[in-house]
Amino acid sequence: MLKGIVVAFSIILISIPIPIVHFFTIPVSPFVAGFVGGGLSEADDEKVIYFGLIVAGLIAIPAFITGILALLSKVEIISLNVSLFYIVIAIIIVPYTWFGVTLGALGSWKLRKSSE
């Protein structure tokens, strides 16, 4: 299961820094990561939720660090508090990642189950 978690986490992180393409890859990367990582780890119906929780927990680490760094910075762009923006994004991204990874791993499990 560890190999699938590392692959899923890597897929999500690799899709972020690609210029212009990241607008399309970031929304679907949790689902793709869950599908590929869930297939590699062969997560069954009970492990799918734990798989999603672990990957979302790993994504919470950089989201938390980004939120802390945003709080420590005093940058304001056009009277918009940037630190509040980063904190809201960090709060939204973790449940979104859990949901996408869990759905992807569930789809992978259903596909493996139907092919047996």
Strand partners, 77: 80
Using alpha carbons, select from 4, 85, 79 the residue that is nearest to residue 38.
Answer: 4
pLDDT attached to residue 35: 92
pLDDT attached to residue 36: 93
Domain ranges of the chain: 2-115
Mean pLDDT value across residues 46-62 = 89
**Torsion angle defined by CA atoms of residues 111, 14, 19 and 79, in that order, rounded to the nearest 10 degrees:** 100
Strand partners, 80: 77
Residue 43 predicted with pLDDT over 70: yes
Quick one: what percent of the chain has pLDDT higher than 90?
22
Mean pLDDT value across residues 64-86 = 70
Which of the residue ranges 26-30, 71-75, 98-102 would you say has the lowest mean pLDDT? 71-75
Sign of the four-CA dihedral 21, 22, 26, 31? positive
